[in-house]
Chains A and B, each alone.
Chain A
Amino acid sequence: MIQLKNITKVYGKDSGQEVTALKDVDLIIEKGDFVAIVGASGSGKSTMMNILGMLDRPTKGEYYLENREVNSYKDDELAKVRNKTIGFVFQKFHLLPKTSAMENVELPLIYSDRKNIKGLALEALKKVKLEDRASHTPNELSGGQQQRVAIARALVNEPEIILADEPTGNLDSKSTLEVMSIFQELNKSGKTIILITHEQDIAEQAGRVIKIQDGKIAEDYRNENPRSASEELKLVDVNE
């Protein structure tokens, strides 16, 4: 599904103060993987996320998405990939203010040619169990609910890949579990999920963990028995 070959990213080439964020990274992510990319801040994991999400182009190296080299894509084609193939989830949610959950979820569809925008948006909200909050604006929703709206927005155009950058960074532990259980369910239904985090705790809930250090992959292992967020959530509910 995704293959990185010798990806290098250097910032500040023009200013002379070069910072190498990624060094010759090779990586293959299979369809259906649930990958947690873990690293401290400054390790290069955000750069990794930007390159994987085609929000940024690598300085050197090749990036194949479904066997096509991404460097050859024109700007408009990249926009189409971001629209159809990749769904983004951000740490700060990035919902449009004063705008209903429904309309926020509709946003990617504005840039697609799919029909029945309302129906698709409502369906996506159902997947995150927020269909009863469709008309609420972000300031009427809790942090966890806002992030679930953001996930619905990432899902609405049915992308193959969900790319989440510190999705639980701004959430309390219960909301974190809720969000993680949604990701695990999505993964079970076949979506490829790439999650960037600095918390080992979160990484343990993914099927594969890639540790990044100083712009290089330091560790890459599979979790045979990832922790189930939904099970832990049940325990939290019982304790309450």
Chain B
Amino acid sequence: MNNKRILISSLRILFRNKLNTLFMILGIFIGIAALTLTFSIGKGTEKQLMDNVKKQFSSNNIYIGAGRGQMGGGPTSQGPANTLKIDDLEAIMNNVAGIIMYDPVQWLPAKEVIAGGNNVTTMIKGHSVESEIIWNRTVQKGQFFSKAEEKSAARVALIGSKLATELFGNSDPIEQQFRIGNIPFTVKGILEDKGVDAHGFDMDMDVIIPITTMMKRVMNVDYIMSASLMVENVDQMDETVFAITDILRERHYLSENETNDFSIMTPVEVKSVVEDMNKVFTLVLPLITGIALLVGGIIIVVMMLMSVSRRISEIGLRKAVGARKKDISFQFFIEASLVSLLGGVLGIIIGTIGTKLLASSMDYTFVIPWQTLILGVLIPVSIGMIAGIVPAKKASKQDPIEALN
């Protein structure tokens, strides 16, 4: 009953001291908005990375990259990356137990594609027939190219749905002609929609052609960029990696003091690379936000302490008209809590809107983790409470005589 009246009285006072209240709300608001934003973006990135990793690396695939250097470091491989051949994969297939199939890969990241008057620069990917299974990507319309077409280096292509629209508009793209550079191709099928990959490329703009066609007709090379191998048993991954390493070193005539001219990545490693990247989001960003929140809390403490000093005579008066110590401390406590709660709720709302805007402008996965919402309420309220305790105690101990003189 009494507390309800004190609460109402507090609300009125907060409302009357708008500027003071505003600054306290702002302190918490900035902290929580930053928390929501970084946390959501972190979670969104994590989800996107994991989705893409799942899209590109099935959990039972081993990935071989050509060239020295770390695959996680991107395309900055040191040394020649022209030593990995399809024959190497055939040798692995024949000599290592438990390999079900392989898919050689050769990509051209930016190549001109022309159909009629339409001209688009996009990613050309050379794959084998097996890629349909290994990469888990089939066609939604038309047909995948055949083994025979792969063998004969046929000029057939599978294209992404967005690219199909850009090249052919609304007309049926199947069996239509287009050119990659100067080489004419026939559209055999429309690829399943996959969205944006881990590198930011829109996979629905892809052109997939047989690996042989890619090597002989488009690039004129005898080596591949990378390969995926599907293994039977994930538990024996380490042994399989050792066996593959041995075969490749032998076939590439590497002496003992030479490093591998290829790199091998297993799903376990892929996952750990992704998790490393995500530490930035899940650890570092919340840390920064934590500091922002701490600052918000300090702002509240300072503003509340100032408020106590400014309102010494009010406190004295309240005591003189019958307020108990706990009534006074309750009042300052509830004021700090209310301000923090309001700041927190505003912070979540603005943080969410910010995330949404950012997500839509960057074509980004939008995730507001439930943890954020709970933290967004719990953190500011607890900060407000902690921040309110010291000023509330100080206020309640105020001597009414001193205050009223």
- The interface of chain A, by Cβ under 8 A from chain B, is 50, 53, 55-56, 75-76, 79-80, 82-84, 88, 90, 92, 94, 96, 98-99, 103, 107-113, 117, 153, 157
Contacts and interface: CB of A to CB of B under 8 A. Distances in A.
9 closest A-B pairs by CB: A83-B322, A108-B321, A111-B322, A79-B324, A110-B5, A98-B16, A94-B317, A82-B322, A88-B320
A109 B2 CA distance: 9
B12 A90 contact: no
A76 B13 CA distance: 24
B319 interface: yes
B324 A55 contact: no
B322 A79 contact: yes
Contacts of A111: 2, 5, 318, 321-324, 327
B271 interface: no
B54 interface: no
Given A55-B400, A94-B404, A103-B12, A113 B1 contact: yes
* A53, A56, A79 interface centre (most CB from chain B within 10 Å): A79
Contacts of A53: 320
A80 B319 CA distance: 10
B314 A88 contact: no
Interface string B1-40: 1100110010011001100000000000000000000000
A107 B12 CA distance: 12
B314 A96 contact: yes
Contacts of B404: 55, 90, 92, 94
A94 B322 contact: no
Given A55-B320, A94-B313, A96-B314, 9 more contacts: A55-B319, A75-B324, A99-B12, A103-B12, A110-B2, A110-B6, A111-B324, A112-B322, A117-B5
A108 B327 CA distance: 12
A98 B325 CA distance: 24
Given A94-B317, A94-B404, A103-B12, A108 B324 contact: no
A153 B321 contact: yes
Nearest to B7: A110
Contact of A107 (B1, B2, B316, B321): B321
A58 B115 CA distance: 102
20 contacts: A55-B320, A55-B400, A76-B325, A82-B320, A82-B321, A83-B322, A88-B320, A90-B404, A94-B317, A98-B16, A99-B12, A109-B5, A110-B2, A110-B6, A110-B9, A110-B323, A111-B5, A111-B323, A113-B2, A153-B321
B378 interface: no
A56 B323 contact: no
Interface in B317-362: 317-325, 327
B201 to A, nearest CB: 61
A55 B318 CA distance: 12
A90 B314 CA distance: 13
Contact of A83 (B13, B16, B321): B321
A56 B401 contact: yes
Contacts of A50: 401
Interface residues of B, number: 25
Nearest to B400: A55
A99 B322 contact: no
B16 A107 contact: no
A92 B318 CA distance: 15
A94 B401 CA distance: 12
A48 to B, nearest CB: 12
* B6, B17, B317, B400 interface centre (most CB from chain A within 10 Å): B317
A80 B321 contact: no
A83 B9 CA distance: 17
Contacts of A117: 5
Given A75-B324, A75-B325, A110-B9, A82 B2 contact: no
Interface in B388-405: 400-401, 404
A233 B23 CA distance: 49
Contacts of B6: 110
A13 B238 CA distance: 82
Contact of B321 (A88, A98, A99, A113): A88
A47 B366 CA distance: 68
Nearest to A163: B320
Nearest to B8: A110
B135 to A, nearest CB: 69
Contacts of A107: 9, 317-318, 321
Interface string B286-327: 000000000000000000000000000110111111111101
Nearest to A87: B321
Contacts of A99: 12, 16
B399 to A, nearest CB: 8
Contacts of A157: 322
A16 B400 CA distance: 24
A83 B2 CA distance: 13
A202 B293 CA distance: 58
B326 to A, nearest CB: 8
A109 B13 CA distance: 17
A178 B315 CA distance: 28
Contacts of B322: 79-80, 82-84, 108, 111-112, 157
A109 B325 CA distance: 16
Contacts of A103: 12
A92 B405 CA distance: 8
B322 to A, nearest CB: 2
A75 B320 CA distance: 12
A21 B120 CA distance: 96
Contacts of A84: 322
A84 B320 CA distance: 11
Interface in B66-119: none
